[in-house]
């Protein structure tokens, strides 16, 4: 089982059983890996705007053999989700720097239920 921080465990506890998760700003991909290993979600979309984090997430997902359950995409917020890929929950837990401006990001509210 992948090890995650207390912060990530708190986020994981908010995810509904059997959900399809859009993990916006996935970084390393550990949250969807953890939730799949725990049997909490059916599948996930790991989304990030930067290529480096996506490469790390792909490596981790492959290492745990979860490529059939986690789709990795480069995305600005949820923009890369396609019609019919309705997710029951979206997770955004980025740590924002207080002095940096964030413009142009399409980000829904934290833990927005879908549908």
Q: Would you give the DSSP letter of residue 82?
A: P
Does residue 113 have a pLDDT over 70?
no
Does residue 2 have a pLDDT over 80?
yes
67-88 pLDDT, tens digit each: 999 999 999 888 898 877 756 6
Please provide the average confidence, as pLDDT, over all residues in the chain.
Answer: 81
pTM of the model: 0.78
**Residue count of the chain:** 115
Residue 28 pLDDT level (bands cut at 50, 70, 90): very high
- Give all domains of the chain, ordered by start, each with its CATH number: 6-92 (3.40.50.150)
């Amino acid at each position: 089982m992948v090890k995650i921080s207390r912060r990530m465990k708190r986020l994981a506890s908010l995810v509904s059983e059997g959900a399809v998760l859009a993990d916006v700003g996935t970084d390393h991909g550990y949250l969807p890996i953890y939730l799949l290993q725990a049997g909490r979600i059916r599948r996930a979309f790991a989304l990030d705007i930067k290529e480096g984090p996506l490469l790390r997430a792909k490596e981790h997902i492959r290492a745990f053999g979860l490529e059939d359950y986690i789709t990795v995409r480069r995305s600005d917020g949820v923009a890369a989700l396609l019609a019919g890929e309705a997710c029951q929950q979206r997770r955004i837990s980025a740590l924002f720097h207080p002095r940096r401006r964030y413009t142009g990001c399409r980000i829904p509210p934290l833990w927005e239920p879908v549908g």
